[in-house]
Amino acid sequence: MIKNIDYKFLRGKVTLISGPSGAGKSTLINIISGIISPSEGNILLLGNNLHSNFNKVKSYISCVWNEPSLFSNMSVINNLRFFSYLRGQNIKEIDIKVNDILQSFEIIHDKNKFISNLSQGTKRKVDLCRALINNSEILLLDEPSSFLDNKSKKTLVKILGKYKEEGKSIIIVSHHASLYSNLIDVVIIMKNGKIIYNQPLENLIKNTKEFKNAFILKTSNRLLANDILRTLPEIEDTYLSQKSVHVYLKEGDGDLSSIINSLGSKGLKIKKIISKEPNLDKLIGELINAH
């Protein structure tokens, strides 16, 4: 159940919706796609009231739900053809597009198989093809990467990148935000049916300690390095991972050379210094816990 949501999704942007299970993310997608009617309030899509103009608005939306939505006793190619026909796509172009997208996800050899005979992962790929092939203005994706192998995840991100370049609006519901970190413009976090956080991605990263003055250090002795670093005045915090030390500097005290010198003077060899990349999943997890 979701309540009191008053939000304007930005056109041409990629919005990520995250949150714990049962937060209302999938319900929100179902409402935006017109599958569920809200008990109160309105939804406007590209200036049209979703429920009073549903037939018109339908042509703007493509959606992937958490379960594949395909004809189980129809072949892959006919499923894709059917939904493309409904969208009024050019009949000559449909088969070319179908073949192209099936090749992108490396399932071209399955095109004549019935959906009921496919694995969960392949069904998910076909379902993604169904939504992506239509070139709709608004793309709603509920956990699109579930059941996908790593290669297909990369393909998905690449295709979504092209969509973004074309100015399409994309709303992604996912627990794996880091997969889409290069695409996301806005992050929304939901909890108990409400939006508890709503900021552009750069704000989320900028305002978080994790990525300011932080780096990962690989040395000849990480335990000793950790002990030394904790005695230095410019260090705010450290923690040990399996092969390295994660180091957080105090605000404004970013003198890396003095830290390296301190470690060197104790006989430690610095193997690698890596700047900390944002781990969106971790960040979002922290935000959820904080609320």
Indicate which single residue of 11, 22, 41, 71 sits in contact with another protein (rule: CB under 8 A).
71
Residue placing its CB nearer to another protein in the complex, 140 or 280: 140
| Structure tokens, 209 | 């300690």
Binders of another protein among residues 90 to 149 (CB under 8 A) are 91, 115, 130
Tracing tokens 């900028």 back to the chain, one arrives at 206
Measured CA to CA, the distance from residue 134 to residue 98 in angstroms comes to 10
- By the 8 A CB rule, do 195 and 5 touch? yes
| Least distance from another protein to the Cβ atom of residue 273, Å | 49
Task: Give the residue with the Cβ less far from another protein, 50 or 259.
Answer: 50
Interface characters, 24-63, with another protein (x: CB under 8 A): ------x--xxxxx-----------------x--xx-xxx
List the one residue from 15, 68, 190, 248 that touches another protein (CB under 8 A): 68
Does residue 255 contact residue 234 with C-beta atoms inside 8 Å?
yes
Helices (H) and strands (E) in the chain, counts: 10, 12
The two structure tokens encoding residue 56: 């018109």
User: Any contact of residue 85 with another protein (CB under 8 A)?
Assistant: yes
Nearer to another protein by C-beta: 29 or 283?
29
Please select the residue that binds another protein; options are 49, 72, 119, 182, rule is CB under 8 A: 72
Strand partners, 14: 170
Please give the structure tokens belonging to residue 206.
């900028």
CB of 144 to another protein, least distance (A): 14
Q: Give the residue among 126, 124, 121, 133 at the shortest CA–CA distance from 74.
A: 126
How many residues sit close enough to another protein to count as binding (CB under 8 A)? Answer: 34
Angle ∠(50,54,57) on CA atoms, nearest 5: 75
Q: Which residues bind another protein (CB under 8 A)?
A: 30, 33-37, 55, 58-59, 61-63, 65, 67-74, 78-79, 81-83, 85-89, 91, 115, 130
